[in-house]
Amino acid sequence: VRSWSPARARRVNASRRACLVARFGFLYAQERLDAEILLRTFISDMETVQRIIYTAAVESFYAAKVAFWKLRIRVKETLSLDHMGPGSLEDAVLDYIVRHKDLYDIHASVHEVILSMTVNPKISCPPEVDFIVISTLIRELCSLAFSMQTLIPPLDIAFGVDGELFNKSMYYRSFDSDFTADFVAYHIWPALMENGAVIVKGEVVTKR
């Protein structure tokens, strides 16, 4: 059994962080495009498709964070009864959640995300289509977002608003953007953040 040490904990955290950041990039580069292809079989308007995927990302992170906070409270209450160290109780809680990720009810989060998207007035699917068609992407996003909460510090996505001033340090412009426009028409993919700093840029469409 390996003894606990702050140095080893930091190395493990850094290694997991690198893997999760890379996974975020893969979701953007591959899984997002797969979801686009699926949605385009039902929806012809590309802006609508991209808005749906962005909303799925935002809702997935929110649902996963809420689930993590609830689980952390439960685990902390349990471990506090006999925690003796050597690390802090908070460290023990995070380590326990990392080693028992099956405690996360990801199916419930996916359901919550789809429900939230269904009542979101900014996006819509044809009556014969359900957002469940991109449940694979939603599941991957929830899983990733949950794991990112176990890092020290945790990673999160930036909250984007239509019409916000374009920030080149946070976003790339899409290829079909108006590169002279100063404001964001809509978001394609969120930026990944750590303590308020951009780790991975997101993507937006800018138009006049």
pLDDT digits (tens, 9 = 90+) for 47-92: 999 999 999 999 999 999 999 999 999 999 898 888 766 678 888 8
Element (H, E) at 184: strand 184-189
- The crossing angle, in degrees rounded to 10, of helices 46-79 and 135-148 is 40
* Residue 204 main-chain phi, psi, to 5 deg: -135, 165
Angstrom distances, CA of residue 198 to CA of 44, 61, 129, 158 = 33, 16, 35, 8
6: preceding bond cis by omega (within 30 degrees): no
Query: How many CB atoms are located within 10 Å of the residue 143 CB?
Result: 18
Judge contact between 25 and 134, C-beta under 8 A. no
Each residue of 168-199: pLDDT tens digit? 999 999 999 999 999 999 999 999 999 999 99
The pTM assigned to this predicted structure is 0.91
What residue spans define the domains of the chain?
Answer: 6-154, 158-207
